[in-house]
Copies of this chain bind each other. A is one copy, B any other.
């Protein structure tokens, strides 16, 4: 069993896909409602698929260009990247698109069926909508685990038998596998940004003219932008989010595997590490945990149901929470045994700047617990800052009474303030999981957060389905009771979405850090020292990128929304009988505006994200690129939390007026001046929380992934360091001699003599290294200042005698 461990995640992924298919068939078998409902559902589906096809066509061009570039890199001399990174990259992109596509198809099938089910009862409506969510969640998670496992197995068979050390060969395996993650994450970025622009352009446009100017309700069929609005929910909240989480999930597992390889290297210090799992337990662990997470999620989905037709938000929320926590706890219990089984009891791990420490493998489990605990706490913080009835939202409500300006100031302040606890928790997670188990611990903390992605996504995706079901109900003029039921589901969906965002940014940031750690170790640089001016400069440049990215995303939404407003105004003006319900609005024109705007506007931010790290790496070298990555992460985390929470708080401040709220002792309702001010805040918050905010996750992960993929080109020695050496104009002479002696090929002794003569004075360093030949070789090769290489025949080669004279 142990030596074929890789088949476990494969089997679990296939199980997940089979369960997904059953669920899909079940959903499709549900009654789809009357003709009108089916027509609307079809229109939404067609609009969404049309957008996805257009998006994929455009992205295909990007994938081709990127593939050529990757192939070119793999042909460079002295670069370890294998050309197989290209098929891995393309597959990652296709899998990501597939994951989004499956989710969107089922979501657009499930919306009318949920509405139809809501005619019968709320429990049935939850069953259908959550069924749709489950299909998507399992599809994403299973495809991710399957793709990663298969490629890993294949690459291991290709590269691991060849000449050279286990570590070096495994590095090639993982570096090639990074292509899969890069493909997935690139598509995720475009899908998230494109979907985000699409949905908010349609939403803001539909609301500004429909609700505010014409005074017709949300999702009214007379509003020409209403189909676009519902399409937007699917391409943004479903397909965009699916691709996003697919990318996150793959990146997290990949980063953990890379760090597992370093762990093996650390443990091979004295003699090559071996275990029952083909000597790769620490590498396989994260992907096995991911597989188990799929199983736990399937079990969890069975618990999500309610019995009572009179149930309200609280009961629905409870059912979701139950399923979610059962999945999490099951995964955690399984992780405990897996860690105990798959890792050696104590592990020798190198801590940067502190040398080697022996740590018990259980520390890895505690790291995972820290990850989950901090993820949960960040969700609590997020919920506090964005929930109805809590102080932050009430503050915004109160400030709405003096107008839009004070509402906006209050909302911005809430978003900013919410960074405090979140960032402290996040810093504690880094610190704690690192102290326990190094960067492998940080990666496993992220993996623990992401393990139940299938369940998380099922919960996240059921919201937009319910939202759409409400739209279908409204547009097909069903009994208001139906809408009330879907509204309950929708409202719960809003809360879970906000909480999910807290989890998402926390896991994304930890993943980014794990990738960052992998990058540093991979390039062989001596850490990222921001006391170097170029590194510091790039830290600032990195800090600026999330700000620019957000600016571009917001501006795109603003532009597209204005176009939408003008088109809707035109149709109201020009189509006779539209307001009386006798004329048919041209829905397709609005869909078209959103589609074009989204496709056009997603390009620039996407390219900035991908190209900037490449330029910085090539021009300034590996360490400044590390500074850039850190800058993107630090700034990205702040702006993500700020934007997500400000947007969520504004949204709920506006919603507070629906039930009525007390301001300065007076009850205030919808339609009041204060409510209008709150609507303004909500509109500002829309692109914050649904376009730029969630894109930050992908931005930081993708930045670190790009760095990891180009790491082999950068190598340990950046140009700049070499130049620096040559710039020394003083009278300095440095000589290095290495004597390696070995009597029996088992024990060896090396004497490294470094003589530095500078301005007439001499410093001589002798270093004597004794031990087994393997160890002495390893230590000689690791010597920092000298370019010593010992080949497999134990001959010292390339002893560089650097003699620099004026």
> A: which residues have CB within 8 A of B?
204, 208, 212, 269-270, 348, 351-358, 399, 402-406, 408-410, 412-417, 419-420, 423-424, 426-428, 430-431, 434-435, 439, 442, 513, 517, 520, 527-534, 536-541, 543-544, 547-548, 550-552, 554-555, 557-558, 561-562, 565, 626-627, 630-631, 634-635, 637-638, 642, 679-681, 683-684, 687, 721, 724-725, 727-730, 759, 761-772, 775, 779
Cα-based distance from A772 to B562 in the complex (angstroms):
76
Chain B residues near A551 (CB, 8 Å)? 412-417
CB distance from A358 to the nearest CB of B (A): 5
CB distance from A759 to the nearest CB of B (A): 5
Chain B residues near A730 (CB, 8 Å)? 348, 356-358
Nearest CB to that of A209 among chain B residues? Answer: B402
With A529-B530, A634-B635 known, 17 other A-B pairs at CB within 8 A are: A270-B759, A354-B721, A355-B728, A357-B728, A399-B558, A402-B565, A405-B681, A406-B558, A413-B555, A417-B551, A423-B540, A423-B544, A428-B537, A527-B530, A536-B630, A543-B543, A544-B638
Q: List 15 A-B contacts (CB under 8 A).
A: A208-B405, A352-B532, A405-B680, A405-B683, A413-B552, A416-B554, A417-B548, A427-B541, A430-B540, A530-B530, A540-B634, A544-B638, A763-B769, A763-B771, A766-B767
Given A427-B541, A544-B638, A565-B402: A409 touches B557 (CB 8 Å cut-off): yes
Contact of A529 among B353, B533, B764 (CB under 8 A): B353
Cα-based distance from A664 to B402 in the complex (angstroms):
30
The reply to whether A548 and B766 form a contact with Cβ atoms under 8 Å apart is no
Cα-based distance from A442 to B427 in the complex (angstroms):
31
CB distance from A777 to the nearest CB of B (A): 14
Chain B residues near A435 (CB, 8 Å)? 533
Chain B residues near A630 (CB, 8 Å)? 530, 536, 539
The reply to whether A540 and B635 form a contact with Cβ atoms under 8 Å apart is no
Chain B residues near A402 (CB, 8 Å)? 208, 561-562, 565
Chain B residues near A439 (CB, 8 Å)? 533
The reply to whether A529 and B352 form a contact with Cβ atoms under 8 Å apart is yes
CB distance from A304 to the nearest CB of B (A): 35
CB distance from A620 to the nearest CB of B (A): 9
Chain B residues near A543 (CB, 8 Å)? 423, 543, 634-635, 637-638
The reply to whether A680 and B557 form a contact with Cβ atoms under 8 Å apart is no
The reply to whether B541 and A531 form a contact with Cβ atoms under 8 Å apart is no
CB distance from A749 to the nearest CB of B (A): 10
Given A543-B634, A555-B413, A759-B270: A561 touches B423 (CB 8 Å cut-off): no
The reply to whether A537 and B399 form a contact with Cβ atoms under 8 Å apart is no
Nearest CB to that of A417 among chain B residues? Answer: B551
Residue from A414, A536, A562, A764 whose CB has the most chain B CB atoms within 10 Å: A536
CB distance from A211 to the nearest CB of B (A): 12
Chain B residues near A417 (CB, 8 Å)? 548, 551-552, 555
Contact of A634 among B517, B634, B772 (CB under 8 A): B634
Contact of A537 among B431, B534, B763 (CB under 8 A): B431
The reply to whether B528 and A352 form a contact with Cβ atoms under 8 Å apart is no
The reply to whether A529 and B527 form a contact with Cβ atoms under 8 Å apart is yes
CB distance from A484 to the nearest CB of B (A): 29
Contact of A775 among B358, B424, B539, B761 (CB under 8 A): B761
The reply to whether B558 and A427 form a contact with Cβ atoms under 8 Å apart is no
Chain B residues near A634 (CB, 8 Å)? 539-540, 543, 631, 634-635
The reply to whether B558 and A413 form a contact with Cβ atoms under 8 Å apart is yes
Residue from A212, A551, A771 whose CB has the most chain B CB atoms within 10 Å: A551
Cα-based distance from A630 to B226 in the complex (angstroms):
48
Nearest CB to that of A768 among chain B residues? Answer: B764
Nearest CB to that of A406 among chain B residues? Answer: B558
The reply to whether B540 and A426 form a contact with Cβ atoms under 8 Å apart is yes
The reply to whether B684 and A424 form a contact with Cβ atoms under 8 Å apart is no
The reply to whether A424 and B541 form a contact with Cβ atoms under 8 Å apart is yes
Cα-based distance from A763 to B772 in the complex (angstroms):
12
Cα-based distance from A403 to B207 in the complex (angstroms):
13
Chain B residues near A442 (CB, 8 Å)? 533
Cα-based distance from A728 to B357 in the complex (angstroms):
5
Cα-based distance from A75 to B348 in the complex (angstroms):
43
The reply to whether B767 and A765 form a contact with Cβ atoms under 8 Å apart is yes
Cα-based distance from A419 to B764 in the complex (angstroms):
50
CB distance from A726 to the nearest CB of B (A): 10
Chain B residues near A728 (CB, 8 Å)? 355-358
The reply to whether A561 and B406 form a contact with Cβ atoms under 8 Å apart is yes
Chain B residues near A637 (CB, 8 Å)? 540, 543
Chain B residues near A354 (CB, 8 Å)? 721, 724-725, 727
The reply to whether A430 and B537 form a contact with Cβ atoms under 8 Å apart is yes
Cα-based distance from A431 to B538 in the complex (angstroms):
9
Residue from A354, A406, A565 whose CB has the most chain B CB atoms within 10 Å: A406
The reply to whether A770 and B762 form a contact with Cβ atoms under 8 Å apart is yes
The reply to whether A536 and B416 form a contact with Cβ atoms under 8 Å apart is no
Cα-based distance from A161 to B504 in the complex (angstroms):
61
Cα-based distance from A204 to B409 in the complex (angstroms):
12
Nearest CB to that of A724 among chain B residues? Answer: B354
The reply to whether A430 and B533 form a contact with Cβ atoms under 8 Å apart is yes
Chain B residues near A759 (CB, 8 Å)? 269-270
Residue from A402, A426, A531, A631 whose CB has the most chain B CB atoms within 10 Å: A531
CB distance from A674 to the nearest CB of B (A): 13
Given A528-B531, A554-B413: A419 touches B548 (CB 8 Å cut-off): yes
Cα-based distance from A679 to B405 in the complex (angstroms):
9
* 5 pairs of A and B residues whose beta carbons are closest in the complex: A434-B533, A416-B551, A405-B683, A354-B724, A527-B531
